[in-house]
Amino acid sequence: MSVKHAISRGLELGRSFLQIGLLKSGGRVAAKLRADRFRVGPSVRTVQPQAFLPARYRYYRTSLRGLAAQLQSAGFRRRFTGASPRNRAVFLAFGLGVGLIEQQLEEDRQSAATCQEIQAVFKKKKIQSTLRPFTSGFKLEDYIIGNQIGKGSNAVVYEAAAQFAHPKETERDSTLVELRDIKEEVQTARSPTCCSFRNFPLAIKMLWNFGAGSSSEAILKSMSQELVPSGPLALKQEKEQVTLDGHFGVLPRRVSAHPNVIRVYRAFTADVPLLPGAQEEYPDVLPARLNPTGIGNNRTLFLVMKNYPYTLRQYLLVSTPNRRQGSLMVLQLLEGVDHLCRQGVAHRDLKSDNILLEFDSGGCPRLVITDFGCCLTQNDSSLQLPFNNMWVSRGGNASLMAPEVVTAAPGPDVVIDYTKTDAWAVGAISYEIFGQQNPFYGAAGLHSTNYQEKQLPPLPACVPADVQLVAKLLLRRNPNKRPSARVAANMLHLSLWGRKALANQDSAGMRKLADWLLCQSAVVLLQGCSGPSGNRVEAELQRSFLSNLDLEELRAAVGFLLYGQDQSRACIMFP
Ligand SMILES: Nc1ncnc2c1ncn2[C@@H]1O[C@H](COP(=O)(O)OP(=O)(O)OP(=O)(O)O)[C@@H](O)[C@H]1O
């Protein structure tokens, strides 16, 4: 079946599907995408086209319109019509040029409007929690705490269960089993293959508190970054507003739910308990009440999350994903980073230990970014950090600090721009995903301070060429030449699902792409109706892509895919 045939078949399917109103995910969606509006064309009626025109076209259009007006003015017409054949040809060429530009602009308007409409449809869909909503769980006593899962430099994490936090029926197969009598499980070692973690659907992170004091306000204030991925009901209502610096202030910016970002279900302060292994593994951070030589405070912050079976690092120690899975994993990280970036958050400590992993019901790894202890959030979402003295923290994990962060020297007007730093780290982590050593790790590794791009080792030959290109572009030293997480994610989406729409790019290129987008939208909506089984990770990714569609970012991705590293050509075609 040819691409054209496939697209028209997809459109037909989508249209008839919409018409018979079978869309579970929304009669509203169906109404929005009524068959006639589901075409690239008349759908632009409701959209103000001017807003979507790239500056370049606005300029051309204004100047060419002016020129056309002049050409059509009586004086010009007299001069040219009565003039030589050569002058008449010039006049014709001008006219033709204006016509072509207008046509191009019209197509752009239509493509931009298509993107807008698709985005609006997919943006509405909220991420569903895999747990039933619960109203309690603000006290440590509400949980049964099992074995230790992991430990970092700031916290320890235990598996946990709570009677109120049952999984939803639909999630049962892929995540958890009933909360049975779990007491005997507590003593068994944690292993992703045993049912221990399935009986403990939750994970509780206990932060170590040395300096924050023991009042809830002081703890919440000093550990506030950890609350960035917490949901709207995570804190008890009265804690939503805490006294900060003697004034009433709100807690930091919090990000909305995303399939590739951890969700903190509950956050509360409590007295530090003596948990299994505490005396042996972290005696120094215990309070004097539990260890006379311990230096920890009496109370601390607890975060309740979903329990994941692996970190990315643990998973990669025992398994090497195939090329498609690897591409999907890199793409998930980019989607997660883009989501954070759009909400004004830079993680600043991305590494394979801070990425959790589970499987969807089709066996595809789902990656989730966690541990926001080092993140940057700002009220204005600018991600521009004034770096005026050496005490300003640049974030965690020096090995994976982007060049613009690691090379910044403090000074009165110095600002570090974090908008593309997490995307850079994803470029480095891509090596690990494809079974290679991270090029920035180890004594013999490269240093982000001074590496040259040509020193980057090639990814294995089996890695898809587009993924290799994405990793290379993400590791560009100059952030202005580095694609954003969104553009890099778009590249992988096009590579995974839309490569054919890019073949034989000509003047009809954007139209072909718009047709593909509509076709893809129909497919994703249809998939949404068939329930939660199957490749949920792929479906989530496609939804993420469609709900963030922007013509300019799509063009940038197309430009990179078609012209690779040749930025100048890519910019001319797709500014
Ligand atoms: N939700 C979870 N499910 C399963 N395991 C988890 C979860 N959260 C954390 N872990 C495990 O606990 C370890 C430590 O957690 P985390 O990275 O949040 O602690 P940290 O002290 O803040 O880390 P860092 O040293 O990077 O600052 C992780 O590497 C992981 O192995």
Confidence of residue 129 (pLDDT cuts 50, 70, 90): low
Count Cβ atoms within 10 A of the Cβ of residue 508 and give its class: 0-12 exposed, 13-18 middle, 19 or more buried.
exposed
* 164, 168, 171, 175 alpha-carbon torsion, rounded to 10°: 10
Cα-to-centroid distance, 11 and ligand 1 (Å): 45
Q: State how far the Cα of 210 lies from the Cα of 571, in Å rounded to an integer.
A: 51
Ligand 1 pocket at CB < 6 A: 149-155, 157, 203, 205, 305-308, 311, 353-354, 356, 370-371, 373
The residue among 29, 45, 50, 52 whose CA lies nearest residue 115 is 52
The residue among 403, 381, 408 whose CA lies nearest residue 479 is 403
Average pLDDT along the chain = 78
Instruction: Give the residue numbers marked as catalytic.
Output: 349
What is the predicted pLDDT for the residue at 278? 95
Structure tokens at 163: 């009677």
pLDDT greater than 50 at residue 551: yes
Among 191, 311, 312, 314, which is best to mutate for testing ligand 1, by the most ligand atoms less than 8 A from CB? 311
Q: What is the mean pLDDT of residues 39-59?
A: 38
* Span of 59-68, 134-143, 297-306, 530-539 with lowest mean pLDDT: 59-68
Cα-to-centroid distance, 156 and ligand 1 (Å): 7
- Report domain extents, the chain: 1-14+62-102, 131-165+195-307, 310-574
Q: State how far the Cα of 341 lies from the Cα of 377, in Å rounded to an integer.
A: 10
> What residue's CA is closest to ligand 1, atom 12?
150
- The CATH code of domain 310-574 reads 1.10.510.10
Do residues 270 and 245 touch, judged by C-beta distance below 8 A? no
DSSP state of 411: -
* 459, 428, 191, 147 alpha-carbon torsion, rounded to 10°: 170
What is the predicted pLDDT for the residue at 236? 78
* C-alpha to C-alpha distances, 406 to 396, 397, 417, 422, nearest whole angstrom: 11, 11, 12, 13
For residue 299, give every residue at least 6 positions away whose Cβ sits within 8 Å of its Cβ, in sequence order, or none.
Answer: 209, 214, 215, 216, 219, 269, 270, 271, 272
Strands (E), 322-394: 345-346, 355-359, 365-369, 376-377, 384-386
Count Cβ atoms within 10 A of the Cβ of residue 509 and give its class: 0-12 exposed, 13-18 middle, 19 or more buried.
buried
Closest atom of ligand 1 to CA, residue 305: 1
Per-residue pLDDT of 402-450, as tens digits, reads: 999 999 999 999 999 999 999 999 999 999 999 999 999 988 899 999 9
The one-letter code for the residue type at 507 is S
Confidence of residue 547 (pLDDT cuts 50, 70, 90): very high
3-state helix, strand, coil in the chain (%, to 5): 45, 15, 40
Per-residue pLDDT of 239-257, as tens digits, reads: 655 544 444 455 677 899 9
Per-residue pLDDT of 363-380, as tens digits, reads: 999 999 999 999 999 878
- The CATH code of domain 131-165+195-307 reads 3.30.200.20
Among 145, 265, 315, 353, which is best to mutate for testing ligand 1, by the most ligand atoms less than 8 A from CB? 353
Do residues 470 and 464 touch, judged by C-beta distance below 8 A? no
In sequence order, the β-bridge partners of residue 356 are 311, 368
DSSP string for residues in 483-534: PPHHHHHHHHHHHHH-HHHHTT-STTHHHHHHHHHHHHHHHHHHHHHT-S-S
Structure tokens at 466: 């587009």
The secondary element (H helix, E strand) that includes residue 364 is none
Count Cβ atoms within 10 A of the Cβ of residue 183 and give its class: 0-12 exposed, 13-18 middle, 19 or more buried.
exposed
Cα-to-centroid distance, 312 and ligand 1 (Å): 11
Closest atom of ligand 1 to CA, residue 370: 18
For residue 316, give every residue at least 6 positions away whose Cβ sits within 8 Å of its Cβ, in sequence order, or none.
Answer: 352, 432, 433, 435
Q: State how far the Cα of 16 lies from the Cα of 12, in Å rounded to an integer.
A: 6
Strand duo 299-306 + 310-311: pairing: unpaired
Among 154, 205, 263, which is best to mutate for testing ligand 1, by the most ligand atoms less than 8 A from CB? 205
ipTM of the complex model: 0.98
Closest atom of ligand 1 to CA, residue 226: 22
Per-residue pLDDT of 171-183, as tens digits, reads: 443 433 333 333 3
Per-residue pLDDT of 81-123, as tens digits, reads: 445 556 655 555 556 555 666 767 777 777 788 888 888 888 7
* Span of 304-318, 326-340, 471-485, 543-557 with lowest mean pLDDT: 543-557
The one-letter code for the residue type at 2 is S
Strand duo 310-311 + 241-244: pairing: unpaired
Q: State how far the Cα of 134 lies from the Cα of 136, in Å rounded to an integer.
A: 6
3 state DSSP class of 395: coil
pLDDT greater than 90 at residue 214: no
Cα-to-centroid distance, 130 and ligand 1 (Å): 20
pLDDT greater than 60 at residue 276: yes
Cα-to-centroid distance, 155 and ligand 1 (Å): 7
Do residues 411 and 387 touch, judged by C-beta distance below 8 A? yes
Q: Taking the mean position of all CA atoms in its chain, how far away is CA 441?
A: 24
